[in-house]
Structure 1
Amino acid sequence: MSVGALLAGAGGPSGSTAAADAADETAAALAVLRRAVSIDVHTHGGKTGISSKSPPSDDLANHMRAGALAVACLADVPDGPILGRDAAGALAAVRTPASGELYRHHLARLAWMDELVAHHGIRRALNAADLEAAHQAGEPAIIGDVEGLDFLDGRLERLEEAHQRGLRHLQLVHYTPNDIGDFQTGAIKHDGLTEFGAEVIRACHRLGFVCDVAHATEDMVRQAVKVASKPLLLSHTAVAGSRAMGPTPLTGRQVTPDHARAIAETGGSVGIWHFFPDLDAYVTGLKEMADIVGTDHVSIGTDQFDSRGCVADYTRWVHLMAAMLRGGFTAEETAKIAGGNYLRIFKAAVG
């Protein structure tokens, strides 16, 4: 369903003031989505997405159309096969991968992405013009993304292969120790960013990738900022001690105000995940970050994986926009956070 069709049906029956108000909120949200490209800056596509055992299907495209989401940064997880729960119940690498295992898994997930694009109603965006064209056509698009460069195995040339395969967004670290840098929930091995990690950042800039430092330690991020010549992204997190989230096992993945400001200083953006009790709390979580770095440096990175979180599928996207407007963000601010800030980064990094 196109945004225009959604707008035409937004009013619906309104036998009460509450129903009329809800219809007005939906119409206002859809007006924002019609004007501006909206982008989830980090997702796995939900419970039937790229990180599931399900084959590619029409689910992602159908949900994006229903919720009027234009673009999803769809993240393959190379270290997925070796992840599990550690003794404390936290997500972690629970075994050492076999030689070449993570690279092979990565290639299999790229093939999954190819199948999704070829047969299931999703465009692949390779540049900013593709994003804007998909939005204008009302056709959902993905940006190929990888969560953790564990598939490199020290081979920088695999970045060129990744670019040739249609990826345009790369996250440096995840849950598995690698030779790029330290991650927030693991033991410190490198005191931040390695020299190889610096080479990777420079190669990302040269080849045309968005460079994502989610999961990286604050020390690694500060060192990455010194290397970077283009805006950096931190795609999915929340403010440390977020009152909107409340008690959470994700504390180790939250970021301090100074951590977030380091990203903003590059002209980049910090994405906020959807692990909040409801959409109104999610909006408060977005405000918590905006109060630190400003609305020019906040994005939405749901980290949508399964049914957990308040945006369990993209039929909820338009309702998140309505909640943002209801919660005090202006239409202009909503458009920036919902996609405009990432589009600025993407244009600078990819073209």
Structure 2
Amino acid sequence: MMRLDWLALLKGRSTLEDGAEVTLEGEVFPLEEASADRLLLVAEAACCLGCRPERETTVEVLLDRKAPAARSVRVTGTWRKPSPDSPWRWRIDAAQAVARSTGGPWLARRAVLAAPLLCAAPRPALAQVPAGAGRALVASTAPMDLHSHAGRVILSPREPDRAFQPLAAPMRDGGMALIALALVADSPVTRIVERTIQPYRSPEPGELWTHGQAAFARLHRLVAQERLGIVTDKAGLARAMRPGAGPSVVVAAEGADFLEGRIDRVEWAFREQRLRHLQLTHYRVNELGDIQTVSAVHNGLTDFGVEVVRACNRLGIVVDLAHATLPMVRKAAEVSNRPIVLSHTSLSRQPRPFSRLISAEHARVVAETGGVVGVWPLVGDSPTPRRYAESMARMVDAIGIDHVGIGSDMRGLLALSAFETYQATPDLAQALLEIGVEAEGVKKLMGGNYARVLQAVLPG
């Protein structure tokens, strides 16, 4: 029985004869329709529905018995060479799969990820961190989230009048001071196809402009219903950060598709909708640039994208490069005279093609502008504040304590989250303390770093 290694497989170092008996550990990529006799095995868990399995990095497994209900498994079976027209590079037949323990969000995949870590094994809780320390720390700072759809703010073309969910109360209960509350700009032309979010048609002229206006209106209805403050300038930011201040939002858009190539609409969104945080792209290649989850079209940031970045700098809007390709991020960083952010992602040593994860190099481009990378609470089958804290710590290892924050993507994730409600904010602070982050560092991660970017970008 040969034990396979993903790193050797991906680099072409494994030479196997057809019919060899093998064992391989990996992550199950969720199929659109559950199957009792088939699964797809990949080296790293899918981070979101925007990721999809690629032929060159996927093993098709044909089972002779039902697989366990687990995302991380050990497969044993017979190695086969697929036919030339197979959608997958490798196959294991007559296989059995058993669940495996991961031990943490990345530790079980060190051979593949091989990234610097704060530690090489799970950290024990530190005895000198008393219960309640996280809540006390939250009370002395102003936690912030770089990316959120909480309150069910997203306008669904299929359910335009769906009810809102509570937002102010969970923020107040957990001490979350401010969130970047984001509408989604491309919803009418995207859909879930084979467990991935993909554009499925081109928008009609004016369609995304019309949707954008309605999406902003829905966001403002939620803000009014929940009696949330809206931060639009430096003075408003200072008020939102005072002890006892009520929950506040920064109006954000996930995707600039509503612009439809018109630069004057940036100022419209700034003046009329109080937009202060603009993510340039989402799940379709738009007029501004390329995205991580489909093949590149523009080779990065377009000329119109450059105009938009400069307009955001001039007006006082945070530029967000989540979903953008590395070449696009590099160009935006070169053009911008303000810090940029990448609001929600996670770190990988070797991101798969069309993955939303990023490399340390990708993250450093953002950090070098003085910006911040928001870390996702996607940490595997058993999400806990501890695992989320460790994932944030890993990003700290890559780019430093001054450039990492919370990017919850709340109510926007289609996978298990380690940060499901803002009531859990003190739990995250406690977990960061327990893995050894100093109190001042925790304050930076919990919101201080994003506050610094807002202070540098927002108008006076």
TM range (shorter): 0.7 to 0.9
Question: Structure 1 residues 249, 94: CA separation in 2 closer, same or farther (over 3 Å shift)?
Answer: farther
- What is the one-letter code of the residue matched to 1:35? S
Q: CA deviation at 1:85?
A: 2.0
Q: Any residues of structure 2 matched to 1:326-337 within 5 Å, and which?
A: 326-337=434-445
- What is the one-letter code of the residue matched to 1:257? A
More relative contact order, 1 or 2 (CA 8 Å, 6+ apart): 1
Aligned to 2:96: none
Calculate the aligned-residue CA RMSD, in Å: 2.2
Q: Any residues of structure 2 matched to 1:154-165 within 5 Å, and which?
A: 154-164=261-271, 165=273
Aligned to 2:141: 36
SS in 2 for 1:239: coil
Residue 210 (structure 1) aligned with residue 323 (structure 2)? no
Aligned to 1:5: none
Q: Any residues of structure 2 matched to 1:74-89 within 5 Å, and which?
A: 74-87=181-194, 89=195
Q: Point out where structure 2 has 5 or more consecutive residues left out of the alignment.
A: 1-126
SS in 1 for 2:257: coil
Aligned to 2:357: 254
Equivalent-residue separation in structure 2 for 1:190 and 1:30 (angstroms): 46
Aligned to 1:269: 372
SS in 2 for 1:205: helix
SS in 2 for 1:291: helix
Task: Name the larger-Rg structure.
Answer: 2
Q: Indicate which of 265, 289, 292 corresponds to 1:181.
A: 289
Q: Indicate which of 317, 339, 351 corresponds to 1:231.
A: 339
Equivalent-residue separation in structure 2 for 1:106 and 1:25 (angstroms): 45
Q: CA deviation at 1:196?
A: 1.1
Q: Any residues of structure 2 matched to 1:1-351 within 5 Å, and which?
A: 24-26=130-132, 28-45=133-150, 48-51=152-155, 53=159, 57=164, 59-87=166-194, 89-136=195-242, 137-164=244-271, 165-241=273-349, 252-276=355-379, 277-305=383-411, 308-351=416-459
Q: Is the 1:37–1:71 contact (alpha carbons within 8 Å) kept by the matching residues of 2?
A: yes
Q: CA deviation at 1:58?
A: 6.3
Question: Structure 1 residues 33, 128: CA separation in 2 closer, same or farther (over 3 Å shift)?
Answer: farther
Q: Deviations over 1:97-130 (max 9, x none)?
A: 2222212111112111222232322111112322
Equivalent-residue separation in structure 2 for 1:125 and 1:55 (angstroms): 26
Equivalent-residue separation in structure 1 for 2:422 and 2:226 (angstroms): 16
Q: Is the 1:56–1:112 contact (alpha carbons within 8 Å) kept by the matching residues of 2?
A: no
Q: CA deviation at 1:49?
A: 3.3
Equivalent-residue separation in structure 1 for 2:388 and 2:320 (angstroms): 22
Aligned to 2:79: none
TM-score, length-scaled by structure 2? 0.67
Equivalent-residue separation in structure 2 for 1:235 and 1:111 (angstroms): 23
- What is the one-letter code of the residue matched to 1:271? G
Q: Is the 1:214–1:235 contact (alpha carbons within 8 Å) kept by the matching residues of 2?
A: yes
Equivalent-residue separation in structure 2 for 1:214 and 1:140 (angstroms): 24
Q: CA deviation at 1:51?
A: 4.8
Q: CA deviation at 1:250?
A: 10
Question: Structure 1 residues 186, 250: CA separation in 2 closer, same or farther (over 3 Å shift)?
Answer: closer
Q: Point out where structure 1 has 5 or more consecutive residues left out of the alignment.
A: 1-20, 243-247
Q: Which has the higher strand share?
A: 2
Equivalent-residue separation in structure 1 for 2:447 and 2:437 (angstroms): 14
SS in 1 for 2:278: strand
Q: Is the 1:37–1:131 contact (alpha carbons within 8 Å) kept by the matching residues of 2?
A: no
TM-score, length-scaled by structure 1? 0.86
Question: Structure 1 residues 83, 249: CA separation in 2 closer, same or farther (over 3 Å shift)?
Answer: farther
Equivalent-residue separation in structure 2 for 1:250 and 1:51 (angstroms): 29
Q: CA deviation at 1:95?
A: 2.0
Count of residues paired in the alignment: 323
Q: Deviations over 1:289-342 (max 9, x none)?
A: 100110001011111115741111211112111111112111111110111111
Equivalent-residue separation in structure 2 for 1:323 and 1:83 (angstroms): 37
